[in-house]
Amino acid sequence: MTAIELKRELINKITEINDITFLKAIKTIVDLKTKKVIISLTAEQKDEIIESRNEIDLGLYTKHEQLDKEIMEWIDRQ
């Protein structure tokens, strides 16, 4: 059986299933195997990403190592 034949068989069988829990489980498995993940962002989220990138370009960020150091210093003072 070729991949195309198997896909057609699965599609046919899935269309006969009405159990929503089972269909959600199948969707979860298929989602994990698909190569392309599409994330829909709101206009506000897109604006926040643009703003964050601009801040990075201006050097307005803290490196992870520096943040770890600051956290450890804060913990030591407690």
Instruction: Give residue-wise pLDDT tens across range 37-69.
Output: 678 999 999 999 999 999 999 999 999 999 999
Residues 41 and 49: beta-carbon distance below 8 Å: yes
pTM > 0.75: yes or no = no
3-state secondary structure of 54: helix
pLDDT of residue 21: 96
Q: Does residue 36 register a pLDDT over 80?
A: no
pLDDT of residue 27: 92
Q: Does residue 2 register a pLDDT over 80?
A: yes
23: Cβ–Cβ under 8 A, 6 or more apart, which residues?
14, 17
Cα–Cα distance measured from residue 57 to residue 52, given in angstroms and rounded to the nearest whole number:
9
pLDDT of residue 1: 86
> If you search the block for the tokens 């269909």, which residue do you land on?
23
